[in-house]
Amino acid sequence: MREQFRRGVISTHLWLVRKLHGEVPVRLSYWLSLRSFVSTIFRKPDPLLLSSSLLQVFGKSLAIPALQQLLWDDVLGGWALRTCWLSIGYHFNVS
């Protein structure tokens, strides 16, 4: 029950952030502050992390036939931060 509530809170928050910011990146300091706040309520190592199964789909679910055929068995929706991007951001003091 508590985990379902946490997922609902995080999902709703992400929806609101998308509505307010659209495609504009949100500052890292915002996410760190949010994670700190949420971790006081939900005792988890990473309380903002939703189950990967909620965020990922297979290419076969795409509406564009050419992409669907090309990406049929590929998992879509996962993401990762590469070390080089973090290093570049730190080097140029981008936030």
pLDDT confidence band for 85 (50 / 70 / 90): low
Q: What are phi and psi of 76, to 5 degrees?
A: -115, 150
CA 68 to chain centre: 23
Q: What pLDDT is attached to residue 84?
A: 56
Residue given tokens 């309380």 in the structure block: 47
Residue given tokens 């508590």 in the structure block: 2
Q: Is 46 helix (H, G, I), strand (E, B) or coil?
A: coil
Counting every residue, how long is the chain?
Answer: 95
Q: What pLDDT is attached to residue 21?
A: 87
What tens digit of pLDDT does each residue of 47-66 get? 777 665 555 678 888 888 99
